[in-house]
């Protein structure tokens, strides 16, 4: 019985406050909290098992790159210049790992498309590609996006070919 009284008076008290209170603006009850942020991260997480994803080529703008049988020396030399500024901090030309894996034999391990996509679309590749993710588990440093142009990427690939003995 006592409990009922208490509840009743509390209810009256609450109502009265609501009616009499003159806080600024609207005197209605407080509105519900703003809607939670809509989930917008969904699209970045899916692709690992997606059949449309080609792990040989990776993800990025390069779908088909024509590579001639012999070396393009001009491209390789341009690629070496970019290597010296933007890549050599972490990659050796031997098979030894520095921060990232050594480049010896890299053109045999990955397709031209995969390498060029990885070097220009680095973050998405690390998020999606199984081979890139496997390397991250070994190196533990995400490869920095060094903002290579498309030409830079192609020239570096040619320099990698030269390093792998293509004449």
Q: What are phi and psi of 36, to 5 degrees?
A: -65, 150
Helices (DSSP H) in 86-129: which residue ranges? Answer: 106-109, 112-120, 122-128
**Contact call for residues 59 and 132 (beta carbons, < 8 A):** no
Does 134 sit near another protein (CB under 8 A)?
Answer: no
Q: Cα(111)–Cα(63) distance, rounded to whole angstroms?
A: 11
Q: Which of 8, 48, 54, 109 binds another protein (CB under 8 A)?
A: 8
> Quick check: helix, strand or coil at residue 54?
coil
Angle CA 135–102–142, to nearest 5: 35
Does 42 sit near another protein (CB under 8 A)?
Answer: no
Which residue reads 């034999």 in tokens? 105
How many residues make contact with another protein (CB under 8 A)? 41
Which residue reads 């991260």 in tokens? 41
Does 146 sit near another protein (CB under 8 A)?
Answer: yes
**Residue 123 Cβ, how far from another protein at the closest point, in Å?**
9
Kindly indicate which of the ranges 19-27, 43-51, 52-60, 65-73 contains the residues binding another protein, using the contact rule CB under 8 A: 19-27
Does 43 sit near another protein (CB under 8 A)?
Answer: no
Does 68 sit near another protein (CB under 8 A)?
Answer: no
Closer residue to another protein, CB minimum distance, 69 or 85: 85
Q: Terminal CA-to-CA distance of the chain, rounded, Å?
A: 98
Residues 94-113 that bind another protein (CB under 8 A): 98-99
The tokens describing 165, both together, are: 């003995």
Does 47 sit near another protein (CB under 8 A)?
Answer: no
Q: Cα(145)–Cα(167) distance, rounded to whole angstroms?
A: 30
Does 86 sit near another protein (CB under 8 A)?
Answer: yes
Q: List interacting residues with another protein (CB under 8 A).
A: 5-6, 8-10, 12-13, 16-17, 20-26, 28-31, 33-34, 36-38, 40, 84-86, 88-90, 98-99, 140-142, 144-147
């Amino acid at each position: 019985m006592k409990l009922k009284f208490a509840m009743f008076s509390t209810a009256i008290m609450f109502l009265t406050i609501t009616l009499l209170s003159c806080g600024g603006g609207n005197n209605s009850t407080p509105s519900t909290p703003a809607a939670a942020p809509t989930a917008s991260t969904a699209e970045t997480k899916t692709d690992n098992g997606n059949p449309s994803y080609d792990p040989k080529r990776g993800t990025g703008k390069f779908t088909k790159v024509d590579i001639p049988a012999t070396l393009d020396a001009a491209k390789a030399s341009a690629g070496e210049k970019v290597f010296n500024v933007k890549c050599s901090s972490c990659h050796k030309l031997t098979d030894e790992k520095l921060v990232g894996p050594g480049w010896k034999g890299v053109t045999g391990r990955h397709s031209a498309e995969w390498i060029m996509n990885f070097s220009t679309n680095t973050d998405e590749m690390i998020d999606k590609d199984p081979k890139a993710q496997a390397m991250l588990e070994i190196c533990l440093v995400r490869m920095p996006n060094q903002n290579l142009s498309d030409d830079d990427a192609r020239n570096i690939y040619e320099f990698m070919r030269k390093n792998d003995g293509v004449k």
